Amino acid sequence: MLMAQHNAMISAYDLLAQLQLLEPNAKPPTVYRALDFLLEEEFIHKIESSNAFILCPNFGEKHPSQLLLCKSCGSVIELHNAEIEELLQSLADEHGFSITTKTVEAHGICADCRE
């Protein structure tokens, strides 16, 4: 799988470019269908703010996640903090808000890039 070769987020068009090295006739719908399937099966996460994707290290199990996104190198650290999840749900409940997607994205600079 092309996504397994990356430790950072990757866009659909970057995936397409890599796929076309192996399959020159590959078209965008092929990549988008594959990404839709992988999202549905929870093998990957979509990074909404960047319109990019990452491989999920806990694939196959439904789980909320918090993502730390490095603005410099594009690396992603996936967290699973139940306290953050519970606080978010509690705040939503206080406001009568029904959450449909529970992914939190935080942008910053990773430890490697700060060095």
pLDDT in tens, 56-68: 888 767 777 899 9
pLDDT > 80? residue 2: no
pLDDT > 80? residue 77: yes
End-to-end CA distance of the chain: 31
Angstrom CA distances, 80 to 26, 32, 67, 86, 90, stand at 35, 27, 9, 11, 17
The pLDDT of residue 80 is 87
How many angstroms separate the CA atoms of 65 and 82, rounded? Answer: 9
The phi-psi region of residue 79 (left if phi > 0; otherwise alpha if psi is between -120 and 50; otherwise beta) is beta
How many angstroms separate the CA atoms of 71 and 91, rounded? Answer: 28
pLDDT in tens, 5-39: 777 899 999 999 999 999 999 999 999 999 999 99
Q: The whole model's pTM is what? A: 0.82
How many angstroms separate the CA atoms of 64 and 28, rounded? Answer: 28
Query: For residues 64 and 80, is the Cβ–Cβ distance under 8 A?
Result: yes
In the chain the domains, ranked by start, together with CATH numbers, are: 2-114 (3.30.1490.190)
pLDDT in tens, 90-107: 999 999 999 988 889 999
> Is 56 within any annotated ligand binding site?
no
